[in-house]
Amino acid sequence: MQFGVISIFPEMYQALTDFGVTGRAVDKGLVSVDVWNPRDFTIDKYQTVDDRPYGGGPGMLMKVEPLKYAIEAAKAKLGSQSKVVYLSPQGETLTQDKAQQLAQEASLIFLAGRYEGIDERLIETQIDEEISIGDYVLSGGELASMVVMDSVIRLVPEVLGHDMSAVEDSFVDGLLDCPHYTRPEEHEGRKVPDVLLSGNHEKIRQWRLKQALGRTWEKRPDLLAKRDLSKEEDALLQE
Are the C-beta atoms of residues 108 and 71 closer than 8 Å to each other? no
From the CB of 159, what's the least distance to ligand SAM, in Å? Answer: 23
Q: Which is nearer to ligand SAM, 22 or 132 (CB)?
A: 132
Query: How big is the chain by its Cα radius of gyration, in Å?
Result: 22
From the CB of 21, what's the least distance to ligand SAM, in Å? Answer: 22
From the CB of 123, what's the least distance to ligand SAM, in Å? Answer: 10
What is d(CA 166, CA 158) in angstroms, rounded to the nearest whole number? 11
Q: Which is nearer to ligand SAM, 76 or 137 (CB)?
A: 137
- Tell me the pairing of strands 190-191 and 186-187: antiparallel
- Applying CB under 6 A, the residues found at the interface with ligand SAM are 87-90, 112-114, 116-117, 132-134, 136-141, 144
What is d(CA 13, CA 9) in angstroms, rounded to the nearest whole number? 8
Of 34, 65, 169, 173, the active-site residue reads 169
Please give the full DSSP string across 152-173, using - where no structure is assigned: HHTTSTTSSSSTTHHHHSTTTT
Of 154, 208, 215, 220, the active-site residue reads 154
From the CB of 19, what's the least distance to ligand SAM, in Å? Answer: 21
For residue 195, say whether it is annotated as part of any ligand binding site. no
Are the C-beta atoms of residues 73 and 36 closer than 8 Å to each other? yes
Residue 116 annotated among the catalytic residues of the structure: yes
Of 10, 53, 89, 179, the active-site residue reads 89
For residue 198, how many C-alpha atoms fall within 13 Å in the half-sphere facing its CB? 12
Q: Which is nearer to ligand SAM, 133 or 159 (CB)?
A: 133
For residue 23, say whether it is annotated as part of any ligand binding site. no
For residue 133, say whether it is annotated as part of any ligand binding site. yes
For residue 138, say whether it is annotated as part of any ligand binding site. yes
Are the C-beta atoms of residues 30 and 159 closer than 8 Å to each other? yes
For residue 135, say whether it is annotated as part of any ligand binding site. yes
Q: Which residue's Cβ has the minimum distance to ligand SAM?
A: 113
What is d(CA 211, CA 214) in angstroms, rounded to the nearest whole number? 5
Residue 53 annotated among the catalytic residues of the structure: no
Map residue 193 onto helix, strand or coil.
coil
Q: What residues are annotated to the active site?
A: 89, 116, 154, 169
Annotated binding site for S-adenosyl-L-methionine: 113, 133-138
- Mark the binding-site residues, compressed into ranges: 113, 133-138
